[in-house]
Structures are given as structure tokens and as C-alpha cells.
Structure 1
Amino acid sequence: MNVVEALTERNADFAASSFAPGLRLMPSLKTIVIGCVDPRVDPEAVLGTDLGEVATIRNVGGRVTPGVMGELAMLRKVTQAFGGDIGPGWEFIVLHHTQCGITKLEGAPEALSEYFGVDQTDLAEEYVSDPHAAVTKDVEKLRSNTDLTGVRVSGLVYDVSTGKVETVVAP
């Protein structure tokens, strides 16, 4: 059995036993988690959320990049199209983790500067090798976005060695 066959078989089990019809497009906890694509750090599993509770944006490093800001702007437009808005009552959680693969790119400043949308001379301020400082930086980016007024933003770091999450920046 190949991977696609195995996954579609798992989907059949999901559809039969875990599918929740009637879920709404907007997350019930009014929460968006920004996390890393690392398969060890699935935000829904790490934070114990159920289907439909949170929306998740995942990228390399779980970083708040220009691309993520564009995604958030588009999500806000979708929310507005459904008669709502992302603002007061919403939560954004930035979830970084230890032993992240992005740290292996510290020797590739051209790739990192393009990814973060900054000049290579400003890369040190992105704290690529320090998840605690990086999550603080990314929370600051979100909090300073005037389009997100009223959104509570927090920053967590997940330890891949222990499975525990630490609050680095409280909401």
C-alpha cells in the first residue's frame, strides 16, 4: 500500500468515526495559530485543540513573515465576507519550537533575508537561532500591525524534547 492509499484509508475511518458535520468556517475559539511546518510540532496536537476550534498557518520556523501578513489580511477579508471581522475577541498565538530546522540556514543570509523581507544586515534582529527571542519578535510584529487592533497576541515555545509548551509572551 502506498502513502496515498494509506492516508485515504485513514480518511475513511475519520469520516466514519470522527467527522463533525456542521462545523463553521470561522474557528470556534476565534483563534489563529502561526506555527512551524515541522511534523513534530502539529499545533492542533501540541495544544490539544479539536477540529474547528482554531485556524492554523504553518510555515518554515512558524515565523511572522511578509507572506504570513498577507495570509492574515486575506483571512480577514474572508471573515468580513461572512459578516464578521478579525478584531476584538480574537486571539493569535505564535508557536515556535526548540531544535527548529530554520537554524540550519544561518549560513544562507540571502535565503533568510528574502524570506523575512529584510536586508541581510538586519538578519540578526530576526533571532533565527533563538526561539524565545524569535517568538517575542514575531509577537511584536503582530501587535504593531494597526489592522489587527483588539486582537490578543501571545507567544509560546514548544520543547520537542519534553512535549511541553512555555508561555514566553502572555496575551
Structure 2
Amino acid sequence: MLKQLPLVGFLLLISACKPVSEQDSANTLKPLVPLCIASQSQCQVNTKLANFSIKFSQQYLSDKVKTELPFFIELVELIELTESPQSEQITKKNTTNITAYLEGKDMFMGKVPVFFEQSGKDGVYLAQSLLASCSDEQMVWRLWITADISGQTQTFFVDFTSQRL
């Protein structure tokens, strides 16, 4: 009987666990409130083809993205108001095929691909990423974004600082 006790305890322990697929869906990270952080070079990027807002969200986000923790990047195509003789019109560009990657600005850490997906809202794109820790306490990263906008390609970047955990 005593020989079976560890086996019974083990079976009780694993029976309380959820299957991995249920655990993953229950613990899926959801974007927090996206913010323009102090360490960003710019929060709004105005290109010749369209204007974008770029914000970050992370569980422990202050003014820097923490390394080794997942974080979200929100890319929003801003709607332009154009004045016409009759009334104001809202114009939106046709942004497609967004590709992006992260790289160290001053130190080569490789290229980290960033995959934006359109959220439920039109013109809003979300990506989740993770940064490797650097030997320095802080590091400046550059987010490169390329998008096809109304049939033309536009590339732009935003710098931001990460902090080692």
C-alpha cells in the first residue's frame, strides 16, 4: 500500500492540471493599454504617403520596454481630415503588406522579425515581440516598418529604449 502512495499522489496532481492547449488559451497575453513611451524617438510618424501612430504595451512598462518579457506594438494608420469646399472629408489610405523587424541601433543583435496582424478595427495593426537581454543595462532598438500604401512602398522607423530585467 505504501508503495502505491507516490503513484496515487502523482495521479492526483496531474489530474488537477489543464491540458496544455487549454492552459495556453487561458494564459494568452492580451494587449494592455498601448502607450507612447518616453524613450520613443517619435509617437507619430508622418510619411509622404500616410501618417501612423506607434505605441507599446507591456505588463511592467514604464518608459522603457523590458527585455525578456513579451510586449505589444500597436500601429495605427491615422485618418486624415481634408477640407473641401462643401464639407470636411475623412480620407483613409489603403495600407497593405506590412512587414517589420527590430534591430539594435548601436549594437548588432540580429534582426528580430515583427509580424503585424490587423486587429478588429480598420487601420489598427498589432504585433507581439520579445527582446533579448543585452550586457548593457539599457539599449536603443530601431523598429523598421515597411508598408504598401495605395500601391506605393513606404519605409520608416522608430527608435526606443529597452531596459534589462
Note whether the superposition's TM-score is higher than 0.5: no
Q: TM-score, length-normalised on structure 1?
A: 0.24
TM-score by length of structure 2 reads 0.25
More helix by share: 1
Greater strand percent: which structure?
2
